[in-house]
Structure 1
Amino acid sequence: MLQLGPVDGLIETFGPFAIPALLFVAGFVGYLVLVALGRTGRDET
């Protein structure tokens, strides 16, 4: 079995769907950060 450290415990708890869900959440948070940075840059000019 693949040893992934802390991710291994997460998969055992929530199942293999946890990995794509985490990737989606990370991407969504990154998108919100980029939108927030874009808005602050637009307001300063």
Structure 2
Amino acid sequence: MLQLGPLSDLISVFGPFVIPVLLFACGFVGYLILVLLGRAGLGNGGQ
């Protein structure tokens, strides 16, 4: 089995479904950051 450090520990505890959950969580956080930056006016050239 691959040695992925903390990720392999998570897989051993929660099973392989934790990988798509982590990917979804990271994508959701990134989306929220982009939305917040857009509302702050940083995403449209500062206009």
How many residues in Structure 1 have an aligned counterpart in Structure 2?
A: 44
Which structure shows the higher helix fraction? 1
Unmatched runs of 5 consecutive residues or more in structure 1: none
Equivalent residue, structure 2, for 1:27: 27
Partners of 1:18 and 1:36 in 2: CA distance: 27
CA RMSD of aligned residues (A): 1.4
Identity of aligned pairs, percent? Answer: 66
TM-score, length basis structure 2: 0.84
Equivalent residue, structure 2, for 1:39: 39
Unmatched runs of 5 consecutive residues or more in structure 2: none
The DSSP-based 3-state class of the residue aligned with 1:2 is coil
Partners of 1:33 and 1:22 in 2: CA distance: 17
Q: 1:33 deviation in Å?
A: 0.4
TM-score, length basis structure 1: 0.88
Partners of 1:2 and 1:39 in 2: CA distance: 41
Partners of 2:20 and 2:35 in 1: CA distance: 22
